[in-house]
Amino acid sequence: MKSSILILDDNNSVLTALEMLLQTEFEPVFCLKNPNSLLSTIQKHNIDVVLLDMNFKAGINTGNEGIYWLREIQKYDPTISVVMITAYGDIELAVKAVKEGAFDFILKPWDNNKLISTLHAATKLRKSKIENASLIKTTNTLKAELKPSSQQIIGQSAPMKAVMEMVKKVAATEANIFIAGENGTGKELIAREIHRWSGRNREVMLSVDMGAISESLFESELFGHTKGSFTDAKDDRVGKFESANMGTLFLDEIGNLTPSLQAKILVALQNRTITKVGSSTPVPIDIRLISASNKDLKKMISEGLFREDLLYRINTITIELPSLRERGNDILLIAEFYLLKYAKKYEKEGLKINEEAKQKLLKHHWPGNVRELQHCIEKAVILADDKLLNKTNFTFDNNLLTSKNNVPFQTIEEMEKEMILSSIAKEKGNMSAVAKNLGITRQTLYNKLRKYGI
């Protein structure tokens, strides 16, 4: 594709001559006699190169107007290449323009070959700047969104051994993987393990919670957008698909997508391309897709809530994660892991769990799975008075909120409120001591008191 050029000169004969010369080299060619519509033309037509006159008013040869509009172009888009055009006597002004950021300058009367050569070089610089800007944006996206997990997969039970054997078998392939399992069973950890064992492990794995993206921002988040494509699009944005190119993309809770959004994901997977909002140019993508959901997608298909063709795309291999209650003594292994972690965090090292407490943990149904166990251990550590934790340190509220199996469990907010109340009672209202016990600042504590109406 040829690059676009905008010629700005107050002389009609100059404009006509340049347009005739350059129309075979550039497409399209825009000509302006007045600079007042310069920026609007650039915005509307995505100009690559601007050939800019230094002076526009008769009898004024300061070059200030040319320098002013050069700066305005750079403010709007610093990747646009600007070539100044001026009379022989204004060489000093042209050199000043180059110091201000112009690519080069051309003297009137110009040499056609030299002019064309200069403009082509300016075009190459423009393309190079765009590529560099895209790389910088991609890097910044990754820095902001990548949070490498230091968690490990803990488990020696038969169900977990079977899962890990499956992970190692499928990781080396390029097959799309679907991970099924209840909330809190560690679906993202398994996805990261698949990525770690795959041939793409030197590239990035990006995680996207599909339930957390609003429908209005879906395409922008997943596919990216161009500057000015909608009201708040102040810059180009690289979407999750493009950011994960050559790596792994993990779409968590994919069952939360509406049918219309499912269709957009399906098109991207089928075509192996995405199209940014505000653009008509397809961008090729090369990703390893891993999806997950706690919902029964086959049942959703029968109810008309999930596309059957999308399910076939995402589940070449399905990995079923066992619930924590199916994992036997893994409960104690995980409990010990979090006990060490939180004992260190809250400066209560040396804590142990006695046998009665272990039996209580083993008998609990764990509707919130590993995530529930994690918070249970953290709460016990925070409220512990002795080095040896007994069964009274581990409490499970029979709350009205229930899991999909109608098993009651406690929300994180309720657990947090209970911890705060218990700590206040223990410290007899000493808020400094309460904040220290909970590992938060006094201001954070007061914010939570207001939140829970304590």
Q: 102 by DSSP, 3-state: which? A: coil
In this structure, the answer to whether residues 287 and 214 fall within a common structural domain is yes
CA pair distance 164, 157, nearest whole angstrom = 11
Find out whether 238 and 137 touch, Cβ atoms under 8 Å.
yes
The answer to the question of residue 145 being in a domain is: no
- The tens digit of pLDDT for each residue in 185-194 reads 999 999 999 9
- The tens digit of pLDDT for each residue in 433-449 reads 888 888 788 778 877 88
The answer to the question of residue 395 being in a domain is: yes
pLDDT at residue 28 is higher than 90: yes
Q: 167 by DSSP, 3-state: which? A: helix
pLDDT at residue 400 is higher than 50: no
pLDDT at 408: 46
In this structure, the answer to whether residues 338 and 278 fall within a common structural domain is no
Mean pLDDT along residues 33-40: 89
Find out whether 435 and 446 touch, Cβ atoms under 8 Å.
no
The answer to the question of residue 151 being in a domain is: no
Domain limit, last residue, from 320, 351, 377: 320
Q: How confident is the model at residue 407 (pLDDT cuts 50, 70, 90)?
A: very low
Domain limit, last residue, from 288, 320, 352: 320
Looking at per-residue pLDDT, the higher value among 314 and 407 belongs to 314
The answer to the question of residue 199 being in a domain is: yes
pLDDT at residue 138 is higher than 90: no
The answer to the question of residue 150 being in a domain is: no
pLDDT at 17: 94
In this structure, the answer to whether residues 132 and 164 fall within a common structural domain is no
CA pair distance 50, 123, nearest whole angstrom = 10
Instruction: Please report where in the chains the tokens 């825009």 appear, as a residue.
Output: 30
Q: How many domains does the chain have?
A: 3
Looking at per-residue pLDDT, the higher value among 130 and 307 belongs to 307
- The tens digit of pLDDT for each residue in 418-432 reads 888 888 878 777 888
If you average pLDDT over every residue of the chain, what do you get?
Answer: 87
Query: Could you tell me the CATH number of the domain that includes residue 35?
Result: 3.40.50.2300
Domain limit, last residue, from 106, 139, 172: 139
pLDDT at residue 283 is higher than 70: yes
Of the candidates 58, 191, 158, 150, which has an alpha carbon nearest to the alpha carbon of residue 341?
A: 150
The answer to the question of residue 297 being in a domain is: yes
- The tens digit of pLDDT for each residue in 210-259 reads 888 888 889 999 999 888 888 777 788 889 999 999 999 999 999 999 99
In this structure, the answer to whether residues 296 and 210 fall within a common structural domain is yes
pLDDT at residue 395 is higher than 50: yes
Instruction: Please report where in the chains the tokens 């063709």 appear, as a residue.
Output: 309
Return the minimum-mean-pLDDT range out of 113-122, 209-218, 330-339. 209-218
Mean pLDDT along residues 379-390: 92
Q: How confident is the model at residue 142 (pLDDT cuts 50, 70, 90)?
A: low
Query: Could you tell me the CATH number of the domain that includes residue 256?
Result: 3.40.50.300
pLDDT at 245: 93
The answer to the question of residue 69 being in a domain is: yes
In this structure, the answer to whether residues 297 and 175 fall within a common structural domain is yes
Find out whether 152 and 186 touch, Cβ atoms under 8 Å.
no
The answer to the question of residue 266 being in a domain is: yes
CA pair distance 371, 129, nearest whole angstrom = 46
CA pair distance 404, 230, nearest whole angstrom = 40
The model's pTM: 0.59
pLDDT at 317: 96
Q: Which stretch of DSSP H or E encloses residue 352?
A: strand 352-353
Query: Could you tell me the CATH number of the domain that includes residue 372?
Result: 1.10.8.60
DSSP characters over 392-449 = GG------S-B-TTS-B---HHHHHHHHHHHHHHHTTT-HHHHHHHHTS-HHHHHHHH
Mean pLDDT along residues 315-341: 95
Find out whether 326 and 185 touch, Cβ atoms under 8 Å.
no
In this structure, the answer to whether residues 122 and 189 fall within a common structural domain is no
Structural domain span for residue 422: 324-452
pLDDT at 405: 43
Backbone angles phi, psi at 272, to 5 degrees: 60, 30
pLDDT at residue 402 is higher than 50: no
Q: How confident is the model at residue 86 (pLDDT cuts 50, 70, 90)?
A: confident
In this structure, the answer to whether residues 228 and 291 fall within a common structural domain is yes
pLDDT at residue 406 is higher than 50: no
In this structure, the answer to whether residues 301 and 333 fall within a common structural domain is no
In this structure, the answer to whether residues 279 and 335 fall within a common structural domain is no
Mean pLDDT along residues 111-132: 92
Mean pLDDT along residues 123-144: 78
pLDDT at 410: 56
Find out whether 76 and 39 touch, Cβ atoms under 8 Å.
yes
In this structure, the answer to whether residues 75 and 190 fall within a common structural domain is no
- The tens digit of pLDDT for each residue in 301-316 reads 999 999 999 999 999 9
Mean pLDDT along residues 204-210: 91
In this structure, the answer to whether residues 375 and 438 fall within a common structural domain is yes
In this structure, the answer to whether residues 355 and 414 fall within a common structural domain is yes
Return the minimum-mean-pLDDT range out of 172-176, 209-213, 292-296, 379-383. 209-213
pLDDT at residue 58 is higher than 70: no
pLDDT at 141: 65
Looking at per-residue pLDDT, the higher value among 146 and 35 belongs to 35
Here the tokens at position 454 are 């304590």
